[in-house]
A and B are shown apart, each in its own frame.
Chain A
């Protein structure tokens, strides 16, 4: 049997090379192969013949690994890695295409800046920034996914609509709603990018999850690029300033907008083509920060419960808690995408639940105190938005916590947690769109 043992080992090593097949799958396939060999042996075949027949019955390995990849697309993070006959891989990583779109975005923002004479005169330019960048990202994906004409139109329509709405509203000078619109516009447009990203199939839950992953990875890459870019700009300034030829302000004025705009596309391209780098990073970040957040939030909840809540809250606190909930939601989503859905509940899931429940308890306390006082203070745009966002996030996290408890008890599959998040995505889009389109008229553009 020694010959067969080494043949099995070779076969095993070969199967393990497929990116979507992990060690435990190979174990399972090997157990199957051995069962088959034993049975064929018993039927009177010689050991090496039995091995050959068993391998043949297992099927063509390329087809098999593609089938695994289709089921475990989360392990590959993308359908793009699937180089099968029905899904061609993009040629040469498409970096030229990415570069063209990045340059276009960089130029567009510069032209817009000069036209608005920023920073001498600010006016409405700042609230439009994302409108000069994200259409290029949408265009990049529309081209990459080879959308047909109807879908191109559907990709462009939201951008036009939003541009009209945002710029026709007569904001009063220094109005709060204008600032809120400026903050929510990128979120609305990001969801508009989701349409071409998903190739128009916005109902597909798997594609939605891909988009969530894409968002998380894009964020990591963007932060890394921003850090590197910041160092580069600071050094350039420090080196050139003594010559008196250029000032730091000039460099920042010219390089920062274009660099930041171009980096949006470049980061997207990196996510698309260099999956493996971030694939290793997201789990590490989650492993590192989930327990830390769990400890911090549990501790803070205890402190809040023990101290007197009455006068301690000022109006800014709700904003802080919105940020906290966004961060916790980010942790949940990162944890979700870093996780192998077929694994049974583990320690990380428990830590995550502690973090979510801690945040919920804290938020419920703050919210209770706020709602009681908002009646006396009245609704301002800022307060309305902070409260609304808080509720939207609270419902999401409460649902996630409830499902996580049921998952830890073995009542539901992990799949249900993913489904909750992907079904909830339109709520976020709707909320951001409401703030951009409905809030300013409601508060008379103040």
Chain B
């Protein structure tokens, strides 16, 4: 399945914030988690994650720190802030509303869904 690029872009911020809400992480691990969560359906160009992370950092949603873990190489870690959690909660409300609206209207037009399912 190919997910539209606008949709990928729109979902990237809440996705990254949600992953960081699980605990601090670094770029490569965040991308792996995205793939895992979407069963590999959600395709990001790896490099694009970094400008996004830097934007979140500028907005104060995440803090960053270079660290070398005991086993492994030097990496830049990102951790969510209270502002970030607030922004995530807001995004969550918006996405839930959109998902509910789509769900309602699609349940209403059952014929369309069946047709799509058979295609």
Residues of chain A touching chain B, judged by Cβ–Cβ distance below 8 Å, are 24-25, 27-29, 31-32, 34-36, 57-61, 63-64, 67-68, 70-72, 341-342, 410, 412-416
Chain A residues whose C-beta falls within 8 Å of the C-beta of B76 in the assembled complex: 24, 27-28, 31
B45 sits at the interface (CB 8 A): yes
Write the nearest CB–CB distance from A87 to chain B, whole angstroms.
16
- Which of B26, B45, B52, B58 lies in contact with A341, CB distance below 8 A? B58
Question: A59, B45: Cβ atoms under 8 Å?
Answer: yes
- Which of B28, B45, B57, B74 lies in contact with A413, CB distance below 8 A? B57
- Which of A61, A64, A71 lies in contact with B54, CB distance below 8 A? A71
Chain B residues whose C-beta falls within 8 Å of the C-beta of A61 in the assembled complex: 47
| Contact A72 to B54, CB < 8 A, known contacts A31-B28, A35-B28, A57-B46 | yes
Chain B residues whose C-beta falls within 8 Å of the C-beta of A71 in the assembled complex: 51-52, 54-55, 58
Question: B47, A29: Cβ atoms under 8 Å?
Answer: yes
Beta-carbon contacts under 8 Å, B63-111 to A: 63-64, 66, 73-76, 81, 83
Question: A31, B51: Cβ atoms under 8 Å?
Answer: no
Residue of A nearest to B75 (CB): A31
Question: B47, A25: Cβ atoms under 8 Å?
Answer: no
A selection of 27 A-B contacts at a CB cut-off of 8 Å is A24-B66, A27-B76, A28-B75, A28-B76, A31-B76, A32-B47, A34-B73, A57-B45, A58-B46, A58-B47, A59-B46, A59-B48, A60-B45, A63-B45, A64-B45, A64-B48, A67-B51, A68-B51, A70-B51, A71-B51, A71-B55, A412-B60, A413-B57, A413-B59, A413-B83, A415-B59, A415-B60
Q: Give the A-B contact count at a CB cut-off of 8 A.
A: 77
Question: B58, A415: Cβ atoms under 8 Å?
Answer: yes
How many angstroms from the CA of A202 to the CA of B59 in the assembled complex?
20
Residues of chain B touching chain A, judged by Cβ–Cβ distance below 8 Å, are 26-28, 45-48, 50-52, 54-55, 57-60, 63-64, 66, 73-76, 81, 83
| Contact A36 to B51, CB < 8 A, known contacts A31-B75, A413-B60 | no
Question: B58, A342: Cβ atoms under 8 Å?
Answer: yes
Chain A residues whose C-beta falls within 8 Å of the C-beta of B55 in the assembled complex: 71
How many angstroms from the CA of A242 to the CA of B95 in the assembled complex?
81
Chain A residues whose C-beta falls within 8 Å of the C-beta of B54 in the assembled complex: 25, 68, 71-72, 342
Most chain A CB neighbours (cut-off 10 Å) among B46, B55, B58, B73: B46
Residue of B nearest to A34 (CB): B73
Write the nearest CB–CB distance from A426 to chain B, whole angstroms.
22
The 4 closest A-B pairs by CB, nearest first: A413-B60, A59-B45, A35-B28, A64-B47
Chain A residues whose C-beta falls within 8 Å of the C-beta of B64 in the assembled complex: 342
| Contact A31 to B58, CB < 8 A, known contacts A64-B48, A67-B51 | no
Most chain A CB neighbours (cut-off 10 Å) among B26, B48, B50: B50
How many angstroms from the CA of A414 to the CA of B58 in the assembled complex?
7
Chain B residues whose C-beta falls within 8 Å of the C-beta of A410 in the assembled complex: 63
Write the nearest CB–CB distance from B45 to chain A, whole angstroms.
3
Chain A residues whose C-beta falls within 8 Å of the C-beta of B47 in the assembled complex: 29, 32, 58-59, 61, 64, 67
Write the nearest CB–CB distance from A50 to chain B, whole angstroms.
14
How many angstroms from the CA of A68 to the CA of B54 in the assembled complex?
9
Question: A29, B60: Cβ atoms under 8 Å?
Answer: no
A68-B51, A416-B60 known, 17 other contacts, Cβ within 8 Å: A24-B66, A24-B76, A28-B27, A28-B75, A31-B27, A31-B28, A31-B74, A31-B76, A59-B48, A60-B45, A63-B45, A64-B48, A64-B51, A342-B64, A413-B57, A413-B58, A413-B60
How many angstroms from the CA of A24 to the CA of B28 in the assembled complex?
16
Residue of B nearest to A413 (CB): B60
Residue of A nearest to B44 (CB): A59
Question: B48, A67: Cβ atoms under 8 Å?
Answer: yes
How many angstroms from the CA of A45 to the CA of B58 in the assembled complex?
38
Residue of B nearest to A61 (CB): B47
Chain B residues whose C-beta falls within 8 Å of the C-beta of A29 in the assembled complex: 47, 50
Question: A28, B50: Cβ atoms under 8 Å?
Answer: yes
How many angstroms from the CA of A125 to the CA of B54 in the assembled complex?
51
How many angstroms from the CA of A71 to the CA of B50 in the assembled complex?
10
Write the nearest CB–CB distance from A117 to chain B, whole angstroms.
55
Write the nearest CB–CB distance from B35 to chain A, whole angstroms.
11
Chain B residues whose C-beta falls within 8 Å of the C-beta of A415 in the assembled complex: 58-60
How many angstroms from the CA of A250 to the CA of B100 in the assembled complex?
79
How many angstroms from the CA of A414 to the CA of B75 in the assembled complex?
22
How many angstroms from the CA of A24 to the CA of B57 in the assembled complex?
14
How many angstroms from the CA of A410 to the CA of B54 in the assembled complex?
17
Residue of B nearest to A28 (CB): B76
How many angstroms from the CA of A2 to the CA of B71 in the assembled complex?
22
Write the nearest CB–CB distance from B69 to chain A, whole angstroms.
12
Write the nearest CB–CB distance from A54 to chain B, whole angstroms.
8
Residue of A nearest to B31 (CB): A32
Write the nearest CB–CB distance from B29 to chain A, whole angstroms.
8
